[in-house]
Amino acid sequence: MDAARWEWRRSAYDDRVHAFPAEDRASLIEALCAHTVPYAKAARTHSGLRCVSCLLIVGDALAVHSPGPVDNTVDGPR
């Protein structure tokens, strides 16, 4: 999943800001957490309470897509 292809939209159904696929323009759109809402009732905004499920799913995906693992090896005595 491409981490850059999400839009945060506030659902008028539960007043939570969910992450929706950016290219999704169907009449009924589905958030990452499986919350579905009519496109017309999902305002594109970052204001409001964010959906924790969507946050966690996006966070996991961002971690996977981050550039390489952190190198924690100790390179000899200093």
Contact set with Zn ion (CB under 5 A): 18, 31, 33, 35, 51, 53-54
Tell the smallest beta-carbon distance from residue 2 to Zn ion (Å). 18
22 closest CA partner among 30, 14, 13: 30
The number of helix segments (H) and strand segments (E) in the chain equals 1, 6
Task: Report DSSP state, residue 40.
Answer: G
Of 35 and 40, the one with the shorter C-beta distance to Zn ion is 35
Of 34 and 40, the one with the shorter C-beta distance to Zn ion is 34
Of 15 and 75, the one with the shorter C-beta distance to Zn ion is 15
Would you mind telling me the total number of residues written for the chain in this entry?
78
Contact indicator for 27, 37 with CB cutoff of 8 Å: no
Tell the smallest beta-carbon distance from residue 64 to Zn ion (Å). 19
Tell the smallest beta-carbon distance from residue 69 to Zn ion (Å). 28
